[in-house]
Structure 1
Amino acid sequence: MRFSSFTYLVGQGLHNLRANRLMTFASMGVLTVCMLLIGAAYLLGVNVDAMVDYIGNQNETVVYMDLDASEEQLAAADAAIRSTAHVTGVTYVSPQDVLNIYSDMLKDYTNLQEAFANDNPFYPNYRVVVDSPDNIAAVRSELVNIDGVYQVNAPLDMANMFVSLQKVVSYASYTVVLILAIVSIVVINNTIKITVFNRRKEIGIMKLVGATNGFIRFPFFVEGVTSGLLSAAIASGVICGAYYALTRWYAENPSNLSQMLGGQLVPLTDVWYYIVAGFALLGFILCGIGTATSIRKHLNV
């Protein structure tokens, strides 16, 4: 295709946007609303997934060492724990540290420092943080085999609960996104068919005067792509702006519940490119390709 023909057809497509602005606004409105619903469902799923993951990662696995463990055993155990796969944090708590913690907790009732001044009954231990709840069982099985380890307390039941909850939330959120995407495809496809049907006489005249199928399709393709990308831009601006305002409000109005759930929502900087790229792709496929393929049956004159 020559450049002059290309620019002419692009111009025709843009002209058709203005000439048929009522149907253009209708299709853009439907697509924008569908994109907003998909974006809201996606952001909800991402944030719930992140909150469940945060809560699950707060559970520590406690490795108790033998009461008579030597300094060499403690040092070797420390190195072995830190080198264990999926371990992201290790904190050593000496028997004296444990005694100090319980002394502060029970200072209004008894003096543990005096009671255990000569015989500290608490075990030296390591507080271990695992990168994901679904790896706690595997980490525990390795920690129990370290020399000098007396006992390993791992929150396996709670970890399994969080893993199950995370899977349910993820599947539910992305199922909603998929359903909304399918609904969007059906609605937009029907809107495009109505638009093309209203212009079937125009297509027939162009065909009768000798225009090729590609020559007829291209302006419709330009028209569809432009309306789709405009819808994507509008939806991206609205959803990103609204989400930015929500994250600001959430951060500036902390509560006990929000602190328990991590204190903040997933930052906009971590998700905006998925939203923009997803909307642009959706607009291109639905409107651009959908419009070009919907006129196929009207080309047979």
Structure 2
Amino acid sequence: MGFLHNNIGYYLREVKTLVRRDISSNLLSVISLAFIFFILALVFSLGISSDFIISQIEDQAEISIYYTEDANMDDLIENLLSIPGVTDVIPVDEETAKEEMTQILGSESRIVDLFDHNPFSPYLDVTIQLESVEEISERASSLGGVELVRDNKEVLQKLQEISGIIRIFGFFILLSVSIATLVITSHLIRQGVYLNRDSIGTLKLLGAPDGFIYRPFLVNGMLTSLLAGLLSLIMTFFSTRYLYSQLSGSLPFIVLPGFSEHMSTLVIFTLSLSVILGIFGGLMGIKSTKPKNN
């Protein structure tokens, strides 16, 4: 980026001239790239959220143990705590279980009120080390007084599978976005070079080096991609905020990353990618035109 420090005023004036000469192509390029970056940002956002949810489940790994009516609570808790990988055991009574389910159901919690009695059973909330979940579940099931052991292993495995699919899908989206950005930007630069071929020829006759002649086109490609990235972030901001509000209302048990931190990551990713792709697209466009102008 060191070339921007020299003759920056000249380069910006030239970029302004380039845009005025073909404003429709520049505008369509910005809009097209903005929607492309928007799709990429949404996929990237989904990947970040899925990884965060999985990490939260891993950090707060728990199993629920339901016991029989004749179980000795003190002995059962003591035996559970003696199992390697078990870090804590908290008894949960019927009312607390009902309150937890009410919070999970959110607006649908009125279903619980339809019952004449409390349909939930007391259980033991056991905090564990996730890597030991299978061994802990097996040993807990063999204890006297244990009726049922419920863990979130299958849920976590499904989430991990979904996260893997998102990563693969995101890679192909990133590849597609990169190719599309390079093609659109390079085409824009080629067209700009063609429209300004007389001015370029004059500068060459005057002995101007290629770097001085073509840098305004490179700056134009970078700024076009950067502006598209900014527009995509505006769309991403409102879309993400809407999704956050919907999920927090209908699925309150899903823990999402903080909105500000989430958007900061998206801003850094989108703007960095847009600048890099804009520069490379500009270089490709310039390189493809040089043989025609020599």
Q: TM-score range by the shorter chain?
A: 0.5 to 0.7
SS at match of 2:31: helix
Whole-angstrom CA distance in 2 between matches of 1:210 and 1:245: 56
Q: State the percentage of identical aligned residues.
A: 19
Whole-angstrom CA distance in 2 between matches of 1:281 and 1:108: 58
* Alpha-carbon spacing, 1:164–1:39, altered in 2? closer, same or farther (3 Å): closer
**Does residue 215 of structure 2 align to residue 224 of structure 1?**
no
- TM-score, structure 1 normalization: 0.64
* Aligned with residue 140 of structure 1, among 113, 118, 134: 134
1:288 deviates by 2.5
1:210 deviates by 0.9
Whole-angstrom CA distance in 1 between matches of 2:155 and 2:270: 37
Residue segments in structure 1 that go unaligned for 5+ positions in a row: 102-106, 110-121
Q: What is the match of residue 16 of structure 1? A: 14
* Alpha-carbon spacing, 1:183–1:143, altered in 2? closer, same or farther (3 Å): same
> Does the Cα contact within 8 Å between 2:62 and 2:127 map onto a contact in 1?
yes
**Does residue 205 of structure 2 align to residue 208 of structure 1?**
yes
Whole-angstrom CA distance in 2 between matches of 1:108 and 1:34: 54
1:232 deviates by 2.2
> Does the Cα contact within 8 Å between 2:61 and 2:127 map onto a contact in 1?
yes
* Aligned with residue 197 of structure 1, among 185, 189, 194: 194
- TM-score, structure 2 normalization: 0.65
> Does the Cα contact within 8 Å between 1:232 and 1:283 map onto a contact in 2?
yes
Q: What is the match of residue 285 of structure 1? A: 276
SS at match of 1:295: helix
* Alpha-carbon spacing, 1:179–1:221, altered in 2? closer, same or farther (3 Å): closer
Q: What is the match of residue 128 of structure 1? A: 126
Quick check: which has more Rg, 1 or 2?
Answer: 1
> Does the Cα contact within 8 Å between 1:62 and 1:126 map onto a contact in 2?
yes
1:266 deviates by 5.1
* Alpha-carbon spacing, 1:195–1:128, altered in 2? closer, same or farther (3 Å): farther
Q: What is the match of residue 33 of structure 1? A: 35
Whole-angstrom CA distance in 2 between matches of 1:294 and 1:219: 12
- 1:250-281 superposed Cα distances (whole Å, 9 cap, x missing partner): 268x4xxx23763x765431321222122222
SS at match of 1:153: strand
Q: What is the match of residue 100 of structure 2? A: none
Residue segments in structure 2 that go unaligned for 5+ positions in a row: 98-114
* Aligned with residue 185 of structure 1, among 182, 185, 192: 182
Alignment of 1:81-96 (within 5 A): 84=85, 90-92=89-91
Instruction: Give the CA RMSD over aligned residues.
Output: 4.7
Whole-angstrom CA distance in 2 between matches of 1:176 and 1:64: 45
* Aligned with residue 270 of structure 1, among 261, 264, 268: 261
Q: What is the match of residue 110 of structure 2? A: none
> Does the Cα contact within 8 Å between 1:221 and 1:291 map onto a contact in 2?
yes
Q: What is the match of residue 259 of structure 1? A: 251
Q: Report the AA paired with residue 141 of structure 1.
A: E
Whole-angstrom CA distance in 2 between matches of 1:297 and 1:185: 12
Q: What is the match of residue 106 of structure 2? A: none
Q: Report the AA paired with residue 27 of structure 2.
A: F
Whole-angstrom CA distance in 1 between matches of 2:156 and 2:267: 34
**Does residue 145 of structure 2 align to residue 153 of structure 1?**
no
SS at match of 1:210: coil
Q: What is the match of residue 113 of structure 1? A: none
